Structure 1
Amino acid sequence: MSGEKTPVEVDGRQLTLSNLGKNLYPEFTKGEVIDYYARIAPVMLPHLKDRAATRIRWPEGVDGGKFFEKNAPSHTPGWIRTATVPSPGSTRGRDTVEYIVIDDLPTLVWCANLAALELHVPQWKVGPRGKIHNPDLLVFDLDPGDPATVVEACEVALLLRDLLAEDGLESYPKTSGKKGLHLYVPIKEPKEAERTSEYAKSVAERLAADHPRLIVAKMERRLRKGRIFVDWSQNNPAKTTVAPYSLRAASRPSVSTPVTWDELEACQDAADLVFSPGEVLARVDKHGDLLKPLLEDHRPLP
C-alpha cells in the first residue's frame, strides 16, 4: 500500500494522490479526509482565502507524530499561491516565512494529501501583491479548565455576545472541534494591528471581573480549574486559530463547526456540540455557511 499513487484532475490541475486507503484516524482513511475537504470546500475556502495557512500534518495518522508546517515545502507546485511574511525572531534564524495561501480547491486537496489534517489561519489577510493587512476579524477562544466543559463555555459565550452587542458588535460562534468554543467578530481593519488585541483583552477582563467564579482572563494555568479561560491572545498577529470546518486530530475525526446561538443556549452536555465530518456536511446542506457574516458584515471597533 505504501507506494499506491492515484493521478487525479482537480479544477484543471493535475495532482497525484497517495495511500488513499491508509487510516489517518483509527476508522477514517486518508481518502475520506480528502473527500471531506473536497466536499466542504465551497463553504470553507472563503474563510481560508487570502490568509497565510499553518498546516499541522500527521503523516502516520493521529496515533503517529505531528509537525507544524508554516513554510511551503520545497516540492510545492508552482501554481500554488504563497505569501512571504516577515517573521522577526524566528527560531530557525530566518526573517521571513513563505506561507501557502489556500485560495482554491486544488490547493486544499494538495494539503489534505500531505495529511494536513488541521488548517490554522490568522485574523489578517495578505493582499494580491503580498501586503499584510491589519486584522479584519476579532476572535475569543473559550477554553474550559477541568472539570468545566463546553456547557460552561456556552454560558460564557452568551455573556460575551451580550457584552459585544453593547459595543455595537455582532459575534458568531463555532466549536473548536476539541473541548471549547471560538467566538468571531467581523471588524473593519483598525489603523493599528495591536488595537484588536487591546480591545479583546479589555473585554475579557471586564467579563472576568463581573463573573470571577466562572471566567478567568489571565494566562496562568493554575487559575483555570473549573472556569472558562477567555483567551484573547489569538488576536496577536503572530498567532493563528483553527479554521472554520477544519478537521481536528483526535481518536475520531471531529470538526471545528459553526453553530447557532440557539444550539449554545440549549447545550446540556458536551456531546451536544461534537460533530463528525458527515454531520457537518449535512449541516451545511441544511443551514448553508453559518459564518458567512464574517465575510461581509465588518464593523468598526468602539
Structure 2
Amino acid sequence: MTPITEVEGRRLPLSNLDKVLYPATGFTKAEVLHYYASTAEALLPHLRDRPVSFLRYPDGPDGQQFFAKNVPPGTPDWVHTAEVPRSEGGVRQILVQDLPSLMWAANLVTEFHVPQWRAGTPAQADRMVFDLDPGRPATVVECCRAARWLRERLTADGFHVYAKTSGSKGLHLLVPLEPTPSERVTAYAKELAVEAERELPALVVHRMTRSLRPGKVFVDFSQNAAAKTTAAPYTLRARPEPTVSAPVTWAEVEGCEEPGQLALAADDIAPRLRRHGDLLAPLLDPDLAQPLPARAGR
C-alpha cells in the first residue's frame, strides 16, 4: 500500500520510499523527500511564480531521464498551473507555490528548472544568468577564475552578482534585474561573454562548438532566452551522488583551488543554511534589482 501523508492539509501519496536513487551513496527516495522538506523555506521563493520544467529520473541517474514541461497526467487539482506562451502555441506548466506542491513534485523524482521570468510577465527577465561550463581537462577551478572576471565586469556596470554551483561540473552566476525583455538580456550577456573571451582567450570561449571547448570555460549566455531554463537553486541533480545546485560565497569562489572543493551534496545544505542563511535571498530583493546599461542589448 502506498503511504499517505498530509502536508499543510493536502493528502499526498508517497511511493517507493525505500528505493535507492543514488547507488553510489545509497541515498533513497525517502531521503530525497526529506531533503526537499528541510530546504523548502530557502527553495520555494526561488520557484514561486516561475513555470517549472522537470528533468525526471524516477529510477535514479543511471535510469531513463526525460524532460517534461507540460502538466503531468494525474496532477492534483490544487497544484497551481500557468499558461506559458510558446512559438507553437501556449502550454500549461506547473507552478510550485507551496510546500504541498513541492513535495508532490519531489515525489516524481525530478530536477527543478525555471526560466529567468515569472508567469505573470513572460519574457520579461528579472534576473540574468551565466552558466560556466568547463571543458575537460578544465574544472570548476577554471570556472571560478572566469567567474571572478565576470563579477568584476558586471560590478563595473552597477550589478550585484551571486554564485551557485551547477550541481554538476560548473558554476552559475546570477544577477537581479529590473524586468527587462529577455532578448535584451541575452544580447547584453552575449556581449560580456564575447568580451570575456577577448580578455581571457586562454581560459574562456563564448561559442558552444565542442571542438573549441577542451581546456576552456564555456560562458553560456543563452539561458537568458525566454524559452530557456536553468537548474533552480537548491535542486538535486541527476548525478551519481545527490549533488545540489547550491549557492556559494565569493570567498569560496576566490579560494577554490581543487576540483572537488565546491562539490555540495544534499547533506551539506542544512548546515550551510544554518551558517549562512540563503545566500541567494538578495536575488529576491527588488531594491537590488538594477537596469541594464542604456547601451546594452540595442
Q: Please confirm whether the aligned pair reaches a TM-score higher than 0.5, indicating the same fold.
A: yes
Q: How big is the shift at 1:280?
A: 1.1
- Is it true that 1:75 corresponds to 2:69 in the alignment? no
**Which residue of structure 1 lines up, in the alignment, with residue 138 of structure 2?**
148
Which residue among 208, 218, 221 is the counterpart of 1:219?
208
Q: Which amino acid counterpart does residue 143 of structure 1 have in structure 2? A: D
Partner-residue secondary structure (3-state), 1:103: coil
For 2:95 and 2:283, the matched residues in 1 are separated by 18
Which residue among 246, 258, 278 is the counterpart of 1:269?
258
Matches within 5 A, 1:202-241: 202-241=191-230
- Is it true that 1:9 corresponds to 2:19 in the alignment? no
Is contact 1:245-1:256 (8 Å) kept? yes
Matches within 5 A, 1:29-68: 29-68=28-67
Matches within 5 A, 1:85-96: 85-89=84-88, 95-96=89-90
**Which residue of structure 1 lines up, in the alignment, with residue 179 of structure 2?**
189
Is contact 2:163-2:173 (8 Å) kept? yes
Which residue among 151, 165, 168 is the counterpart of 1:175?
165
Q: Which amino acid counterpart does residue 242 of structure 1 have in structure 2? A: A
Is contact 1:126-1:133 (8 Å) kept? no
- Is it true that 1:124 corresponds to 2:113 in the alignment? no
Partner-residue secondary structure (3-state), 1:47: helix
Q: How big is the shift at 1:52?
A: 0.5
Where structure 2 has 5 or more consecutive residues not aligned to the other structure, the ranges are 294-298
Q: How big is the shift at 1:38?
A: 0.6
**Which residue of structure 2 lines up, in the alignment, with residue 28 of structure 1?**
27
**Which residue of structure 2 lines up, in the alignment, with residue 97 of structure 1?**
91
For 1:217 and 1:58, the matched residues in 2 are separated by 30
For 1:70 and 1:230, the matched residues in 2 are separated by 25
Q: Which amino acid counterpart does residue 123 of structure 1 have in structure 2? A: Q
Is contact 1:174-1:244 (8 Å) kept? yes
Q: How big is the shift at 1:133?
A: 5.4
Which residue among 233, 242, 246 is the counterpart of 2:235?
246
For 2:264 and 2:200, the matched residues in 1 are separated by 29
For 2:92 and 2:28, the matched residues in 1 are separated by 29
Is contact 2:122-2:226 (8 Å) kept? no
Q: Which amino acid counterpart does residue 182 of structure 2 have in structure 1? A: A
- Is it true that 1:19 corresponds to 2:16 in the alignment? yes
Q: How big is the shift at 1:96?
A: 2.0
Q: Which amino acid counterpart does residue 167 of structure 1 have in structure 2? A: D
Where structure 1 has 5 or more consecutive residues not aligned to the other structure, the ranges are 90-94
**Which residue of structure 2 lines up, in the alignment, with residue 110 of structure 1?**
104
Q: How big is the shift at 1:276?
A: 1.3
Tell me the matched-pair count.
289
**Which residue of structure 2 lines up, in the alignment, with residue 292 of structure 1?**
281
Which consecutive aligned stretches of 4+ in structure 1 deviate over 4 angstroms post-superposition? Answer: none
Q: How big is the shift at 1:64?
A: 1.0
Is contact 1:102-1:108 (8 Å) kept? yes
For 2:188 and 2:7, the matched residues in 1 are separated by 42
For 1:170 and 1:278, the matched residues in 2 are separated by 29
For 1:235 and 1:48, the matched residues in 2 are separated by 16
Deviations 1:32-81 (A, max 9, x none): 10110011000000000000000111122222101111111121111000
For 1:217 and 1:57, the matched residues in 2 are separated by 29
Partner-residue secondary structure (3-state), 1:225: coil
